[in-house]
Amino acid sequence: MAEQQVHMRLWRGDAKGGEFRDYRIAVGEGMVVLDVVHAIQAQQANDLAVRWNCKAGKCGSCSAEVNGKPRLMCMTRMNTFQPGETITISPMRAFPIIRDLVTDVSFNFQKAKEIPAFKPKPKEADGTRRMFQEDIDRVQEFHKCIECFLCQNVCHVIRDHDDNKPAFAGPRFFVRLASLEMHPLDSNDRMELIKQKAGLGYCNITKCCTEVCPEHIHITDNAIIPLKERVVDRYYDPVARLLGLFSTKNK
């Protein structure tokens, strides 16, 4: 790909309001959207606000909506667009704007605080903790989460419904909850939280979160649905409820 000019439209503004502004800039071989945003920042708009860190899809900082699609800017190659196509970048919509492409994602850090901590079982008699790879594979999938919050951004429960936020943890934290619930060493019980405060019942498994996950975590199938099944088993299954009278923990 020879160097060529592209037409970018970036949202500029703050909480009070803003607009899309047009930029034309040269693009070199192999560039990703974040490179182009950086070039605009260095050459044309020094104060353009954007978050980034690793530029390799590992930190989850540069989330935005590229032509309406929630993406990591660092993992979106420029050669995936048609020649001459205008590329529009806007900040994530589910979170309040701070400035330009930077949003206030503190909602997520608040939700993280509300999840009861990992609480390990006692060690084995020889002082070790033995776990087998096949028993942790599914949890390791959840640990791949880079907290880009794109799943939170597309979740229709909160995307256009700020009022649902207090009662809904969102896909990122269902993944976190699933990782704790399925951790072979954990002994904490979070089922009440999952059912009530985290609002798992709001999710009607449209899989939008799974589609946008840059780590390809099967959020719906492997985290949310099994959690829903556990809630059903605990609270709504008549046999389990009967048995539940005789056991203290259902895990």
**Which residues would be at the binding site for other proteins (CB under 8 A)?**
14, 28-32, 35, 41-43, 45-61, 75, 77, 98-100, 102, 104-105, 109, 112-113, 117-118, 120, 128-133, 136, 139-140, 143-147, 180, 183, 185-186
Between 117 and 239, name the residue whose CB sits nearer to other proteins. 117
Nearest approach, Cβ of 205 to other proteins (angstroms)? 26
Between 111 and 165, name the residue whose CB sits nearer to other proteins. 111
Nearest approach, Cβ of 165 to other proteins (angstroms)? 18
Nearest approach, Cβ of 236 to other proteins (angstroms)? 29
Between 112 and 205, name the residue whose CB sits nearer to other proteins. 112
Between 103 and 220, name the residue whose CB sits nearer to other proteins. 103
DSSP, residue by residue, the chain: ---EEEEEEEEEEETTEEEEEEEEEEE-TT-BHHHHHHHHHHHT-TT-----S-SSSSS---EEEETTEEEEGGG-BGGGSPTT--EEEE--TTS-EEETTEE--HHHHHHHHHSPPP-BPPPPTTS-----HHHHHHHHHHHT-----HHHHH-HHHHT-GGGGGG---HHHHHHHHHHHT-TTB----HHHHHTTT-GGG-----HHHHH-TT---IIIIIIHHHHHHHHHHHT-HHHHHHHTT-S---
Nearest approach, Cβ of 63 to other proteins (angstroms)? 11
Between 109 and 246, name the residue whose CB sits nearer to other proteins. 109
Nearest approach, Cβ of 52 to other proteins (angstroms)? 7
